[in-house]
Structures are given as structure tokens and as C-alpha cells.
Amino acid sequence: MEYSARRGGSVDVIKRNPTLLPSLTAGQVLAAFHGKPSVAYNEKSKIWDNDSLYTQFFNERTSGKHIFLCYTLVKAIEDIKLELIQKTELLDNEQDLLTFLRSRGSIILFASAIANSLEVILNKKIANNFSIVFCKNLTLESAKYEWKQILNMASAFVSTLNEGLEDGIKNEERIDKSIKTFTTLINAIKTSNKVILNKFSANICI
């Protein structure tokens, strides 16, 4: 996957190439994955106009394979939301999840929480989050499928993220607190979900 490079600021954001990811989207998914959900949701255009923000996410460590990993995480969450909307009858837990996913900024915050939990999920020390990629060249659908195995397990804890959604994902203290609680709960269930986690981990290279 490629992304259109910054040339004239946020105006120059889309090339009509089916393999090219719009620049705003690339910046947004990177910001979400790298612990800046407020920037991803509220300031995605500023990533391309502000040199300090830009270099946080687009630098010598940023690869197309990593952007693809971040992008497919967000797309997998969007898919889950759409699947729930299309169901004719929802279980109580599904309705709770859909209510959360309909909240402004929830998809971005959920993605950030998953990314923050990756050391627990992978059971590996991650020195550089930019190094995280799929080991194989997966299709978009295959990559989303891999993420959904984790998302389906983790979705039981999205209610802990509601605090981070307050004020339009602008309160960093609440965001950090909600994500930390989410990661703690993922850690609590990792043993009982060992098979799922090990299978996912086998497909991730660091």
C-alpha cells in the first residue's frame, strides 16, 4: 500500500490510484495507532500542515506495510459496526457494542486501545511500534479478518472507553485512563484466549 506524499499541504491529498491511500486517511490511522486518538479525530488535516505533527507519523521508520496494518485495523472496526447495523435482531451485548460504535470518535479510540494493548496481545516486547507489520502480504479482506479475531474478543470491554469519548476525545487524561483500563482487562483474559492470541501473533512481525 502506498500513500500520497505531502507536497502542498492538505490540499494535495488524493491521487486517483486504486492502490493509493488518501493522505488524510494515512495520517489519521497512524495517529490513532500511535497513541494520538485526539489528533486522529480532531486534527487529522493538521498532520499534513504542521511539521511537528507530520514528522511524528511520517518519517524514516514509516513503511507502507505498517500503514496497511494500521488502516486495516480501523477498517475492521468499521466493518463490525456495519455488520451490526445490518442485523435484524441484536443480542444485548451486540446492541451495547453498536451503541458504542455509533458514538463520535469511538472507532478511532477503539483502534488506539487495541494498539496500546499489542504487547499483551502478542506477548512480545515492542521496542518500536512502527516496526509492527503483517508477516505476509495479505489482502485487505484477509487482514481485516485477522484483526476481527482480536476485536471480537476485545469488544466486551469497549464500555471502559466511554470516558475517553467525553468532550469529543479532547481530554488527554480521560483518554489515557480509559485506554489503560481497557489494556488491563485485555491482560486479564489473555490466558483464557491463548489460542486466538497465539494465532494472531504468528501473523505479526516486529
Tens of pLDDT, residue by residue over 30-87, are 999 999 999 999 999 999 999 999 999 999 999 999 999 999 999 999 999 999 999 9
CB 19 within 8 A of CB 2: yes
Indicate the pLDDT class of residue 2, thresholds 50, 70 and 90. low
Indicate the pLDDT class of residue 16, thresholds 50, 70 and 90. very low
Whole-number pLDDT of residue 21: 78
Confidence check: pLDDT of 1 > 70? no
Q: CA-CA distance, 4 to 109, in Å (whole number)?
A: 25
Q: How many CB atoms lie within 10 A of CB 49?
A: 13
Global pTM value: 0.91
Indicate the pLDDT class of residue 129, thresholds 50, 70 and 90. very high
Q: Which amino acid is at 168?
A: G
In this structure, of 15-19, 35-39, 93-97, 106-110, the range with the lowest mean pLDDT score is 15-19
